[in-house]
Structure 1
Amino acid sequence: MERRTFGQTDMQVSIQGFGGAEIGQADQRTVDRLLHSAVDAGLNVIDTAECYGNSEELIGKSLVGRREDYYLFTKCGHASGFDYSDWDPVMLKQSIDRSLKRLKVDYVDVIHLHSCSEEILRQGEVIEVLKRAKEQGKTRYIGYSGDHTDALYAIKTGVFDSFETSVNIADQEAIELTVPEAVKRGMGVIAKRPIANVAWKNDIVSEQAYAYPYWVRLKELKYDFLEDIQLGVKTALKFALSVPGVATAIVGTSNPNRWEQNATMLLDGGRLSQDEYNEIRSRWTEVAKTDWEAKFKDLLKVIRSGHIIFIM
């Protein structure tokens, strides 16, 4: 599998990474099969978070003895079981230590602040916790995971090595707002939600579903390639990987066969032709509405509250 330089770090990352959100309630046997087949086939990026159910524990148990085979990213910021408020500095430190214990490792390659607001970032305490974790060898690099103007502020602080953000055929704000700034500052860029949760495959989607905003947008965008589900997935994944500066795209699944299917789609390369890429960008510019981002931010509040429906 193709690998790309990850910003100014020493990491060469596989263009497809594994996102751990959807395995949070899976059984260990399924996760073992999924992760080992992925790593064996060349995937070397595993991304998870403190609030993804049992994801960290499942990954830790599954990959014991294979630490040198992959790069491990996690996130922090939400209390998720601690008797503290989100972003409390004491909680953050304990959360990082808990993540290492769950993952059964001495260090991770990147810890990302998980959708932290500009207001909290400006106070400086959460950034200091991550800096100390890096100094103590608990993480090799520190990063920010998020979107919109909060993400732009985080990038401009100049303290982060890594940037994880939403980039897909139904979510293109970052292509102009944040990714170019991150690239200019030498940050490694990760595309999350790169296949828009395959929202187009469903005739009806609940308004409480994680992919609902994407489903609504895609109904209006009407990309021709979405008429075939597999062609849609391939085109969407390649689109995210064609965004200048994107090093890897994180795909989440609890289906042990999905990784191999997605990997096969990239055997002919991880980019669209320039004409194909430009056509998708032009369609977005023509159709996208100014309130789409605000609506998605409202859904994220629901996601963090735990009232979430995955449709994949």
Structure 2
Amino acid sequence: MIRNLHGLHRPLGSTGLQVSPLGLGTVKLGRDQGVKYPNCFTIPDDQQARQLLSLARQLGINLIDTAPAYGISEQRLGPLLRGQRQDWVIVTKVGEEFDNGLSHFDFSAAHTRHSVERSLKRLETDYIDLVMVHSNGDDLAILRDEAVYDTLAELKQAGLIRAFGFSGKTVEGGLLALERGDCAMVTYNLSEQQERPVLDYAALHAKGILIKKALASGHVCLESGVDPVRASFELIFGHPGVGSAIVGTINPVHLAHNVAMAAEVIVGTNSRHNGSGE
């Protein structure tokens, strides 16, 4: 059985980026306040974080997802990824800041530029592959009334970022974000599928899709006898619009299990689509 994602990378819409079907979310590398996971966790030290990143690479993961709102995640990833820039597709965000246990949002042109320049320094890179807008839930107002999207387009033109998009909370926001940008980050799992029209649009228009909360932030569960991870990945990777699903585990055993299950599901799905059976 295939146990890694090597050879299974796919294009992220028409961004030119080739991404692993699973990406590594790094909120747990930098923040343990105000997070919605069912179990408490301890932020890993540098050695543990380095081992996790090394395992992810060995398993064929090349997509790493971070954000300024993830505490000190970006600051830690810069040194941890030194000498490996060519091995990773780095995704970060703008719009949300997290200070003293509270989130606040700023979608202005000035803050967007400041945020991207700060992320470049923290991540020790001269370009970011993909920058997403971290929505506060008022998706349409952000896209229509704020300068953040136009500013990201300018930063893309300047070569500081390769692609940009929107991590929103509504179908309307996701659709508008894809019309004007390269990618949307969408909640899509066994219990939440309201944003499926955004995936459908992306598949038709060669836009990128990243899935957040793929395993419902660790809350996913089903009736006995059904593997919830398998069922989740069958749903997600059964949709042709999906580029990559972000998983935020810091447990190496869970990460290896998730990768093996995703690889098995994707290979099976590809076989069926190619008409060659299982």
Please classify the TM superposition score into its range, dividing by the shorter chain length.
0.7 to 0.9
Kindly provide the CA deviation profile for residues 115-161 of structure 1, in whole angstroms up to 9, marking residues without a partner as x: 26211211251112101211221111111111212222322xx2211
Q: Taking every aligned residue pair, what percent have the same amino acid on both sides?
A: 31
- C-alpha displacement of 1:228: 5.0
Cα separation, 1, equivalents of 2:220 and 2:264: 24
Partner of 1:147: 169
Give the 3 Å change call, closer, same or farther, for CA 120–264 of structure 1 in structure 2. Answer: closer
SS in structure 1 opposite 2:120? Answer: helix
Instruction: Tell me the residue number matched to 1:256.
Output: 252
What is the one-letter code of the residue matched to 2:175?
A: L
1:4 Cα deviation from its structure 2 partner: 1.7
Distance 1:63 1:273 in 2: 33
Over residues 235-275 of structure 1, what are the superposed CA-to-partner deviations in whole Å (9 max), with x where a residue is unaligned? Answer: 2123212123101111011223322121122342327769x
Choose between structure 1 and 2: higher helix proportion.
1
Q: Structure 1 runs of 4+ off > 4 angstroms?
A: 271-274
Does residue 64 of structure 1 match 2:64? Answer: no
- RMSD, aligned CA: 2.3
Residue 200 of structure 1 deviates from its aligned partner by 4.4
Match of 1:234 in 2: 230
Q: 2:156 aligns with which of 117, 126, 134?
A: 134
Q: Cα distance, 1:185 vs. partner?
A: 2.5
Distance 2:157 2:20 in 1: 27
CA distance in 2, matches of 1:60, 1:193: 25
Are the aligned partners of 1:238 and 1:271 in contact in 2 as well (CA < 8 Å)? no
- Tell me the TM-score normalized by structure 2: 0.81
1:257 partner SS: helix
Inter-partner Cα distance in structure 1 for 2:183 and 2:83: 26
Deviations 1:197-251 (Å, cap 9, x if unpaired)? 23146xxxxxxxxxxxxxxxxxxxxx43xx258x112221232121231011110
Over 3 Å counting, the alpha-carbon distance change for 1:243 and 1:104 in structure 2 is same
**C-alpha distance in 2 between matches for 1:34 and 1:252:** 11
Q: Which residue of structure 1 aligns with residue 15 of structure 2? A: 9
CA contact (8 A) 1:34 1:257 kept: no
Residue 27 of structure 2 corresponds to residue 21 of structure 1 = yes
Distance 1:78 1:137 in 2: 23
Contiguous gaps of at least 5 residues in structure 1: 202-222, 275-312
